[in-house]
């Protein structure tokens, strides 16, 4: 593996640059040294596909052991992509150790600098408790980059293609849940059938549902997770703690710390970014978005897929338009539709313009999957 360093990084490493014959671009990286939040940071950008690896909070002892740390960072980040272990091993073995040299390609240096700008932009994702930064690395590697002539690509997708070409077989495998998510409406049928990786957190499931239902993520949300024990408790249509199959809620997952001050004392609460789907699924779940309009979604797990070959959700099918944001719940939605159906109504033009600004539109499977590919 060849790491082509800026002068600042070579000085930090206290190493003389090696003279190395050109390596294969897939195992060659350009690297820069930054200071973020007063901590020493190294950004590596792959020469072939611009995939980015970030190290943060490095100390003197870490720079002395930088070879092993870079390998471990690549390993950790690829694991977060759910790339098969044998694929990661083959990539590392093909690298044949690490050599450090000067940067020598202006185009690649410019691309590295652009990646560093993106790291600055997303630095709120930095984890201060570890030098390895897979969350930030994945985020930066999903940013759309240009190569001139109005041509753009996503580095992570290019890395997947390159690794598959290297090993000659599919590179991603994870467990996933196929689920039907139905918006709880009395007079309309709106649902989406999704496949979601079980390694996702409930926060990531929230982001998935926002895209699948064309919500705008302008409001608070929460989840209720149910057990598998039937009870005689009657179903209440407007209560998210009520399950159609009669199960009991055992966990409330919330999106901000303030929720702990007004939660239900009978149901344990956790932050949704701290709990993974695989810890509780398969079981029934309700998802509530916008506590004012109270859009309740019933989530039913249809099956568990052991060998899902993607690291992002997929929408298989869907039906029905999602109501506009802030329309006033289902009664407000019915009133909204009545106005749009009557051009002579005094509020018709106002409502038409208002709804067009909210992207109120028919379900579009291709558009939804395009969005889900970046979750």
pLDDT given for residue 304 in this prediction: 97
Helix (H) or strand (E) holding 162: helix 155-167
For residues 263 and 129, state if they share a domain: no
For residues 209 and 87, state if they share a domain: no
Which stretches does DSSP call E strand in 202-336? 221-226, 249-254, 269-271, 285-289, 295-308, 314-319
For the chain, which residues score pLDDT lower than 50?
none
For residues 225 and 210, state if they share a domain: yes
Report the CATH number at residue 37.
3.30.420
What would the pLDDT profile of 148-198 be if each residue is shown by its tens digit? 777 899 999 999 999 999 999 999 999 999 999 999 999 999 999 999 999
Domain range for residue 187? 174-322+360-372
For residues 261 and 364, state if they share a domain: yes
Measured distance CA(235)–CA(229) in Å, rounded: 14
For residues 112 and 74, state if they share a domain: yes
Q: Which residue, of 148, 167, 186, is where some domain finishes?
A: 167
Q: Name the DSSP letter for residue 374.
A: T
pLDDT given for residue 375 in this prediction: 86
Nearest to 295 by CA among 335, 330, 347: 330
pLDDT given for residue 21 in this prediction: 76
pTM score, whole prediction:
0.86
* Residue 327 within a domain: no
Q: Which residue, of 124, 149, 167, is where some domain finishes?
A: 167
Measured distance CA(283)–CA(304) in Å, rounded: 11
pLDDT given for residue 198 in this prediction: 96
For residues 163 and 179, state if they share a domain: no
Dihedral sign for Cα atoms in the order 277, 279, 285, 290:
negative
- CA 250-181-82 angle, to 5 degrees, is 80
């Amino acid at each position: 593996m060849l790491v082509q360093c800026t002068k600042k990084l070579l000085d930090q490493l206290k190493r003389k640059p090696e003279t190395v014959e050109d390596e294969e671009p897939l195992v060659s990286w350009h690297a820069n040294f930054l200071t973020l939040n007063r901590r020493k940071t190294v950004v590596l950008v792959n020469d072939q596909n611009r995939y980015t690896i970030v190290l943060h909070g490095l100390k003197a002892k870490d720079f002395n052991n930088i070879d092993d740390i870079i390998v471990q960072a690549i390993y950790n980040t690829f694991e977060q992509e759910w790339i098969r272990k044998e694929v990661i091993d083959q990539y590392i073995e093909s690298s044949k150790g690490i050599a450090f040299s000067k940067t020598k390609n202006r185009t690649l240096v410019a691309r590295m600098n652009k990646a560093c700008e993106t790291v600055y932009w997303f630095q709120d994702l930095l984890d201060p408790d570890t030098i390895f930064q897979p969350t930030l690395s994945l985020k930066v590697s999903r940013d759309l980059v240009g190569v001139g002539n109005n041509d753009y690509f996503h580095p992570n997708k290019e890395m997947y293609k390159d690794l598959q070409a290297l090993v000659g077989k599919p590179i991603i495998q994870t467990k996933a849940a196929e689920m039907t998510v139905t918006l709880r409406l009395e007079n309309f049928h709106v649902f989406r059938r999704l496949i979601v990786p079980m390694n996702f957190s409930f926060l990531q499931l929230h982001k998935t549902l926002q895209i699948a239902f064309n919500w705008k993520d302008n409001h608070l949300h929460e989840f209720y997770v149910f057990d598998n024990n039937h009870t005689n408790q009657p179903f209440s249509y407007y209560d998210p703690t009520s399950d159609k199959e009669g199960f009991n809620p055992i966990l409330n997952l919330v999106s901000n710390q303030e929720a702990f001050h007004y939660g239900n004392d009978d149901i344990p609460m956790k932050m949704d970014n701290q709990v993974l789907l695989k810890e509780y699924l398969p079981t029934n779940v309700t998802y509530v978005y916008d506590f004012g309009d109270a859009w309740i979604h019933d989530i039913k797990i249809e099956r568990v897929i052991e060998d899902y070959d993607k690291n992002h959700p997929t929408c298989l099918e869907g039906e029905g338009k999602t109501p506009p944001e802030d329309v006033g719940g289902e009664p407000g939605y019915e009133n909204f539709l009545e106005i749009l159906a009557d051009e002579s109504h005094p509020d018709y033009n106002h409502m038409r313009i208002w709804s067009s600004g909210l992207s109120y539109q028919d379900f579009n499977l291709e558009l939804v999957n395009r969005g889900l590919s970046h979750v």
